[in-house]
Chains A and B, each alone.
Chain A
Amino acid sequence: MLRIKNLHASVDGNEILKGLNLEVKAGEVHAIMGPNGSGKSTLASVIAGKPDYEVSGDVTLNGKDLLDLAPEERAGEGVFLAFQYPVEIPGVSNVNFLKTAVNDIRAYKGLPPMAAKDFLKMLKEKQALVELDKKLTSRSVNEGFSGGEKKRNEIFQMAMLNPKLAILDETDSGLDIDALRIVANGVNKLKSADNATIIITHYQRLLDYIVPDYVHVLYDGKIIKSGTKELALELEEKGYDWLTKGVESSELKVKS
């Protein structure tokens, strides 16, 4: 489904992703872990199409080259990013925004706009799925939401847009254990044989609920180790030092 080959990304001449390779197949859950600043959010942003980066390499989704597409076209192809830091947008109501999003994606796919009745029905269903307070949907996007509410709103949007590839960037941080369970439960319910999920996290905790097929360690712009879910347990226990020590120690010094 998703194939990333030799991906480089830089900002103002600073290289952040340094030749990253990753393959994710339909039906799979991949976890990406790694210390702060290693490039996890950058990877997510580059896949979603954030314009800040100079990018080279290949990123394809079901054979389609994503790097040539605008962010909204990538969404139309089925990419979804649950942001680590969702922005607040005063004055734009969640409902109106989602209606536009759903219909713009439908237009991209050559479908007519959704009937208002069907939209409302879906809204209610998905709201229930992530146990999002009804009041939040009629409010402005993320405005005045608590950290946990913002994260839940991201998963709610994901449920509304039903993406092929969902990337969850530290969705677990800032969630208490109940909220974590609800969010994980939502993600699990949305999982199917023809979509895939990438979970970016620091903690084993979330992976207890959403069990990954593969775990990757991203460090200094590259994936330096891949394994199965046992790797996450090992990282939890030992940290990253045992993996990163061998990696270009000169650069390490600059970093620390």
Chain B
Amino acid sequence: MVEAMENIASKKAQFLSNFLAKDTDVNSSLAKQEALKALENLEFPTTRDEYWKYTRVGKITSAKYSQIPSFKVSDISNYCIEGLETYRVVFVNGFFSEELSDISTNQGVSILPIAKARKENTDEIEQYFGKLSKHKTQFFSALNTVFNTNGVFVKIAKNSILEKPIHIINITNAESAAFNPRNLFVVEENAEVQIINSYETSSGSSFTNATTEIYVKEGAKVDSYILQNESDTSKQINEIDVLQESNTTYSATTITLNGGLVRNNHNIEVRGQGSETNLFGLYLTSGNQHIDNHTIVDHIEPNCESNEVYIGVMDDKSTAVFNGKVFVRSEAQKTNAYQQNKNMLLTDDASAYSKPELEIYADDVKCSHGSTTGQVDEEAIFYLRTRGVSEANARKMMICAFAHEILDNIKIEVLREMLEIQIDERFVLVESL
């Protein structure tokens, strides 16, 4: 027993030694101190934890991470959304790339690499940093809080409406390296912003452990897109913590097109009346990929609405997990909460674990949830084929139709079109079982 514990302890020490060298100013932030302490006490999550029941992190914790190699991206346009004007913040192998970025902003908006903001706006950062993240209880959140090197700090001033989206592009190219990007968004009263956060691998297999905190202040609107398109051997843990004040709208669409192991923890605290939360997700898995989406929407105040739809298409031997939790606290009367998860399995070896959950402590609420997992409707395939549509096209049509429900919610038209094309192309080669 003692031996086993020592073994675990030494494994943790070994894992953390991948990061230690890079840490510098632990004393600078309260959250960092809290997180450091948490790292001492917390163990790696295991499948015995309800929260990590279907996702093993062994691939992450037993890997050896090398020094981050330097790597240059010559043409950023491959990673941009064609036809879309954006503010652009580019991180290549975790380093902010000034030359590839375009963050010259107008009044009312400030976009800065967080490392820089920490030096220049120390007090402001301290006011928000780590107030939402789960670093006290979640190992990887703590890891990020201690060892984050860079990321973006965005502040949208009161009443400012951004005329173009902010696109944050994370590109990695490393045989095996670990990254801890950390983002902080403060969207002030009645401000409006669209955020796109892309995670791309140029090559190699990285571990990206991202944490993002988003403050949505009274009357503000945030429309957020998370695009995950990493290599088959990459690993990603992505925590997003959102605080919604009253009369706000927070909409997020998470599109996972590729990735070896992906775990998204999307946590929304709705601490204000009259607010709306929309969470959409689309995950397309293949090979041995494992994609896990965990969401929490916590309704604390009355008269709010949340709407959540996650849709997945699983091919080959891949696995998808969805766990969506909606809390309706006793004060949160007149809450409308809707939650839906739909999975399509393309093979007998693919699997889906789905658990939509409602925990309701108020009595005057309208809540519903549901989950379906099935295969392609073969009657429909036959129908399409009798009209001359090739089997491959028929299957592609059925899969794309299934996925489109999520794409239809995307408000940035060129982004929606780009994804439609990517998804169409991806299923060109789907053959019969």
A residues lining the B interface (CB < 8 Å): 48-51, 70-72, 74-76, 79-81, 83, 86-87, 89-92, 96-98, 100-102, 104-105, 108, 140-141, 157, 161
Contact assessment for A80 and B383 in the assembled complex, using a CB-CB cutoff below 8 Å: no
Q: A92-B397, A100-B393 are in contact. Are A87 and B379 (CB under 8 A)?
A: yes
B387 contacts A101, C-beta separation under 8 Å: yes
Closest to A88 in B: B380
Pairwise interchain contact A91-B404, C-beta atoms closer than 8 A? yes
Q: Bound complex: CA of A70 vs CA of B388, how far in Å?
A: 10
In the bound assembly, the distance between CA atoms of A87 and B402 in angstroms comes to 16
Q: Determine how close the nearest CB of chain B comes to the CB of A46; give it in whole angstroms.
A: 12
Q: Note all chain B residues with C-beta closer than 8 A to A74.
A: 386
Known: A91-B401, A100-B397. 15 other contacts (CB 8 A): A48-B386, A70-B385, A71-B382, A71-B385, A72-B386, A72-B387, A72-B390, A79-B386, A87-B380, A91-B405, A97-B384, A97-B397, A100-B393, A141-B383, A157-B387
Q: Which of B356-397 contact A (CB under 8 A)?
A: 377, 379-380, 382-391, 393-394, 397
Partner of A104 from the list B380, B382, B389, B404 (CB cut-off 8 Å) is B389
A101 is contacted by which of B377, B379, B389, B402 (Cβ under 8 Å)?
B389
Would A97 and B389 count as touching, CB distance under 8 A?
Answer: yes
**Complex Cα spacing A49 to B397, Å:** 20
Contacts of B423 in A (CB 8 A): none
- B interface majority secondary structure: helix
> Most B CB atoms within 10 A — which of A74, A86, A92, A102?
A92
Please determine whether A75 and B387 come into contact, CB atoms closer than 8 angstroms. yes
Residues of B contacting A161 in the complex (Cβ-Cβ under 8 angstroms): 387-388
Do residues A105 and B401 form an inter-chain contact, with CB atoms below 8 A? no
- Of listed A74, A83, A91, A102, residue having the most chain B CB within 10 A: A91
Let me know if A89 and B384 touch, CB within 8 A: yes
**8 Å CB contact of B391 from A70, A91, A157:** A70
Q: Which residues of B contact A80 (CB under 8 A)?
A: 386-387
A104-B401 in contact (CB<8A): no
Nearest chain A CB to B189 CB, angstrom units: 39
Is B398 an interface position by the 8 A CB rule? yes
User: Distance (Å) between the CB of B75 and the closest chain A CB?
Assistant: 32
CA distance A176 to B116 in the complex (A): 74
Q: Are B389 and A72 in contact (CB under 8 A)?
A: yes
Please tell me which one of the listed residues A51, A70, A89 contacts residue B401 in the complex, with CB atoms under 8 A apart.
A89
Listed A/B pairs (30) with beta-carbon separation below 8 Å: A49-B385, A50-B382, A70-B385, A70-B391, A71-B382, A71-B385, A71-B386, A72-B385, A72-B386, A72-B387, A72-B388, A72-B389, A72-B390, A72-B391, A75-B388, A81-B386, A83-B383, A87-B379, A87-B380, A89-B384, A90-B401, A92-B398, A92-B401, A96-B397, A97-B387, A101-B384, A101-B389, A104-B393, A105-B388, A140-B401
CB distance from A160 to the nearest CB of B (A): 9
Find residues 385-433 in chain B having any chain A CB closer than 8 Å to their own CB.
385-391, 393-394, 397-398, 400-402, 404-405
User: Chain B residues near A86 (CB, 8 Å)?
Assistant: 383
Contact across chains for A75 and B401 when beta carbons are under 8 A apart = no
Which chain B residues border A89 with CB–CB below 8 Å? Answer: 377, 380, 383-384, 398, 401
Q: How far is the CA of A89 from the CA of B391 in the complex (A)?
A: 15
Report the nearest A residue to B383, measured CB to CB.
Answer: A87
Shortest Cβ distance from B399 into A: residue: A91
**Bound-state Cα–Cα, A76 to B401, Å:** 24
B377 CB to nearest A CB, Å: 7
The minimal Cβ–Cβ distance linking B430 to chain A, given in whole angstroms, is 15
Whether A104 contacts B390 in the complex (CB less than 8 A), given A87-B383, A91-B405, comes out as: yes
Chain B residues with Cβ below 8 Å from A101 are: 384, 387-389
Of B379, B382, B393, B398, most buried by chain A (CB within 10 Å of CB) is: B382
Give every chain B residue within 8 A of A75 (Cβ-Cβ).
385-388
Taking the nearest CB of chain B, how far is it from the CB of A103, in angstroms? 9
**A79 proximity list for chain B (CB < 8 A):** 386
Q: A91-B401, A91-B402 are in contact. Are A108 and B386 (CB under 8 A)?
A: no
Bound state CA distance, A81 and B386, in angstroms? Answer: 7
Question: Which residues from A are CB-within-8-Å of B387?
Answer: 72, 75, 80, 97-98, 101, 157, 161
CA distance A235 to B379 in the complex (A): 33
A80 to B383, CA, bound (A): 11
- Tell me whether A87 and B377 are in contact in the complex, defined as CB-CB below 8 angstroms, given that A80-B386, A100-B389, A101-B389 are known contacts: yes
Q: Which residues of B have CB within 8 Å of A83?
A: 383
User: Taking the nearest CB of chain A, how far is it from the CB of B374, in angstroms?
Assistant: 13
A108 near B397: Cβ-Cβ < 8 Å? no
Residues of B within 8 A of A91 (CB): 400-402, 404-405
Per the bound structure, the CA–CA distance linking A46 and B235 in Å amounts to 49
A96 to B387, CA, bound (A): 12
Contacting residues, chain A, for B383 (C-beta < 8 A): 83, 86-87, 89, 141
How far is the CB of B408 from the nearest CB of chain A, in Å? Answer: 9
Closest chain-B Cβ to A54's Cβ sits at a distance in Å of: 16
Top 5 closest A-B pairs, CB basis?
A91-B401, A75-B388, A105-B388, A71-B385, A101-B387
Name the A residues within 8 Å of B400 (CB-CB).
Answer: 91
Within 8 A of A (CB), among B114-147: none
Residues of B close to A70: CB separation below 8 A: 385, 391
- Cα–Cα, bound, A90→B401 (Å): 7
* Nearest CB in chain B to that of A86: its residue: B383
